[in-house]
Chains A and B, each alone.
Chain A
């Protein structure tokens, strides 16, 4: 059974559109990533699925239950919801927080300890520390424990790795992988592209729309149909506009310390490009063919989307 089914959901706050006709579905035991920048509508979608907001149009089901009509059943412990900001009690200790949420869901910490053990052992040394004095990574691990303690069928995690150090981020994703293998359907949102590769499937969200969805590997292969090059020269600023005016260029954008240039299909001769740049007066030119990452695919999709608008 699908954990989450979203069909043509739209939601506007006042006159501002937050979601526009979004559809996706998350299978049982699937780790599904919502990738997108801030303001893309990820949190709104999460809140609709958590029955905290009503969609304007469209329908959504979580564990086979409609979020509008069956919201009371969904709230009977079917989902584990972790909001984007830290929403536990800062003046309670780690253990008190977990025990409180366990009792709120009519269960005990001992009963479901096996589910949180892997995460809990990492914060156990601080179990008598107040939650407000934990580091960002520890806070999120605690929040994940609290969201899991009642053994939900579906986990909704809104940006669990925002504000978390790189080591803890890796650890959190390892945990999500283990939970998935236990059969929990997970919908997780993140603004970090590099995390997309750890999902079974991803959807790209941008300004309220779901631009594209699929498996990260397949997406990279599809996107890799046209050649991608990392280009550098001594004058990076002029290089960007020059590359964009190159006749064979499909798109070009700044990517860290280099510019990523995508050539039109059929245009795969890098030596022509080097000569062309020399004519433009560039020196110290390097052109490296590179493999496509999620981030390249993402930038492409946004460029396409903006061109269509």
Chain B
């Protein structure tokens, strides 16, 4: 035990005496959460809008005021000249324009639409504003709601009523950070011992390989727990993402995922010969699948069959699904049994392979 503890202490020395490692371990989670929470957001805010107002009455003025007040739009210009609107579109100064005809019930929305996702979102926001009741009056353009056979669809968004992007990104960022820290750091750590030759001396000592591996992984597990706490606090109090389920369950599930990532790192260390190779393998083989195949950005359900199967072996996919269930939907442990089982299985298989592949010789 003494042997093990002094090994762990040595690992902490390595971590705390290298400024770059420290920065990566402790600052990266904070930066990523803030980056994904604010800068990289699928929500569109304060999009400039121009209004071509032929109506010029109380109703159109009130509508324009509503757009001015919305956090999604800022009013660029109000004009009566159609040519000016087209000019603004060509210059790229506006992404969307409203047209109020001189008479009749309908309003038109013109959209730039070079970026389809943005156009869809903006027209949805604009339609929602136009369909809302005017202050002190009934719905002004009832026809907007009733297109499509006269059935009125009442939409309610259960778990994310404001359609906030951060509800999706926080679980994704947790999945990304834990795998980066645990897998990359442990794989680089083990390979460094081999590269600098200290592994030669350790191998000739009475230390058992399993001890070496465990002692290498333990500090990163502790740091991951700190990171999980940081991310949860940041998302709760900075990004206003609720934690609806049990915090203990969420942390326990995250620790299981961190373990899988550690095992993955140990496995990588048995393949890579140099620190650079370990870094590259962790970067390319872990980060890309986590970003692309975990459902964090692109929905897995729409992918071709082969990519869907490939995504099944990405631990982050199961972790993110589980975190969404517990954190956003507030479900209990029964709902994430499948995810837990799959992650546990991955951890066991990876540990077995790593210990088997761990060379007791050079």
Q: Tell me, in angstroms, the Cα distance from A131 to B13 when the chains sit together.
A: 13
User: Cβ of B6: which chain A residues have Cβ within 8 Å of it?
Assistant: 99-100, 103-104
Residues of B179-223 at the interface with A, using a CB-CB cut-off of 8 Å, are 196-198, 200-207
A105 at the interface (CB under 8 A from B): yes
Contact with B along A66-80 (1 / 0, CB 8 A): 000000000111010
* Known A51-B361, A104-B7, A106-B3; contact A87-B205, beta-carbon cutoff 8 A: no
Q: Report the minimum CB–CB distance from A75 to chain B (whole Å).
A: 6
B14 at the interface (CB under 8 A from A): yes
A276 at the interface (CB under 8 A from B): no
Query: Interface segment, A15-23, A88-96, A221-229, A247-255?
Result: A88-96
User: Which of A54, A88, A91, A146 is in CB contact (< 8 Å) with B17?
Assistant: A91
Contact (Cβ within 8 A) A103 B201: no
B83 at the interface (CB under 8 A from A): no
| Number of residue pairs spanning A and B whose beta carbons lie under 8 angstroms apart | 75
Contact (Cβ within 8 A) A88 B198: yes
Q: Report the minimum CB–CB distance from B163 to chain A (whole Å).
A: 48
Interface SS of chain A: helix, strand, loop or mixed? Answer: loop
Q: Report the minimum CB–CB distance from B212 to chain A (whole Å).
A: 10
Contact (Cβ within 8 A) A52 B3: no
Q: Report the minimum CB–CB distance from A148 to chain B (whole Å).
A: 12
Contact (Cβ within 8 A) B13 A75: no
Closest residue to B2 on the A side, CB-wise? A103
Interface SS of chain B: helix, strand, loop or mixed? Answer: helix
User: Cβ of A147: which chain B residues have Cβ within 8 Å of it?
Assistant: 201
Chain B residues with a Cβ closer than 8 Å to the other chain, count: 22
Residues of A95-124 at the interface with B, using a CB-CB cut-off of 8 Å, are 96, 99-101, 103-106
B62 at the interface (CB under 8 A from A): no
User: Cβ of B206: which chain A residues have Cβ within 8 Å of it?
Assistant: 75-77, 104-106
Residues of B13-46 at the interface with A, using a CB-CB cut-off of 8 Å, are 13-14, 17-18
Most chain-B CB neighbours within 10 Å: which of A47, A54, A81, A87?
A87
B362 at the interface (CB under 8 A from A): yes
Contact (Cβ within 8 A) A104 B202: yes
Contact (Cβ within 8 A) B361 A92: no
Can you list 25 A-B pairs with a CB-CB distance of less than 8 A?
A47-B200, A50-B204, A52-B204, A75-B204, A75-B206, A79-B204, A81-B201, A81-B204, A83-B197, A85-B197, A87-B197, A88-B201, A89-B10, A90-B196, A91-B17, A92-B10, A100-B6, A100-B7, A103-B2, A103-B3, A103-B7, A104-B7, A104-B202, A106-B206, A130-B17
